Amino acid sequence: MWQTRHVPAGPAPEFVGVLSSGEAVTLADWRAAHPQRAVLVYFWADWCPVCRTTQGTVESLRGDWPVLTVAMQSGGAAQVSAALRGRSLNWPAVVDGDGRIAAQYGLHGVPAFVVIDRDGDIRFAEMGYTTAAGLRLRMWWAQTFPGR
């Protein structure tokens, strides 16, 4: 909880970014593509060893829940795409080369997980290793019991 003490409460901060594929994306548009669904925003970095241990958890979660990833301080689009290809991951990854998006969320490290309920409010945020069961429970809770 100490590591996420600067995460804002209430509505998730809007952001505009570019996916590693080169497409522009906003959080609002991405959420609109998944109406009435809780979503996960996963902050990771190519250089983060703990992120590598959680990538299987994130990959399995993507089968059941909308997950948007944010590559924090991992270079430009080409570098992020290469990192994803090298790990055989087909994630939508927003390039956050300078950490500006992470800063909007009050995050200063990776991996970090932000669960946004279907109403657009941040319900859970955590930093560091987390289990698949814990993430699935948080997603279910945010979907079943939205904050508003």
Q: How confident is the model at residue 2 (pLDDT cuts 50, 70, 90)?
A: low
Q: What integer is the mean pLDDT of 11-18?
A: 96
How do residues 54-88 score in pLDDT, each as one tens digit?
A: 999 999 999 999 999 999 999 999 999 999 999 99
Query: pTM here?
Result: 0.94
In single-letter form, the type of residue at position 111 comes to: P
Q: Where are the domains of the chain?
A: 2-144
In sequence order, what are the residues at sequence separation of 6 or more whose Cβ sits closer than 8 angstroms to the Cβ of residue 134? none
Quickly state the pLDDT bin for 7 (edges 50, 70, 90).
low
Positive or negative, the Cα torsion across 22, 28, 33, 38?
Answer: positive
Report the topology of domain 2-144. Glutaredoxin (3.40.30)
Q: Is 40 helix (H, G, I), strand (E, B) or coil?
A: strand
For residue range 86-115, what is the model confidence (pLDDT) as tens digits? Answer: 999 999 999 999 999 999 999 988 999 999
**pLDDT band at residue 3 using 50, 70 and 90 as cut-offs:** low
Compute the distance between CA of residue 139 and CA of residue 15 in angstroms, rounded to an integer: 21
- Give me the percent of the chain exceeding a pLDDT of 90: 86
More confident residue, 8 or 17: 17
Backbone angles phi, psi at 59, to 5 degrees: -60, -45
CB-based burial label for 40 (10 Å; 0-12, 13-18, 19+): buried
Q: Provide the angle, in degrees to the nearest 10, between the axes of the packed helices 132-144 and 49-61.
A: 50
Q: What amino acid is encoded at 41 in this protein?
A: V
Residue 8: per-residue pLDDT: 72
Phi/psi for 16 (5° steps) reads -120, 135
Q: Which residues of 116-139 are buried (b: 16+ CB within 10 A; e: fewer)?
A: bbbebbbbbbbbeebeeeebeebb
**Which pLDDT value is given to residue 56?**
94
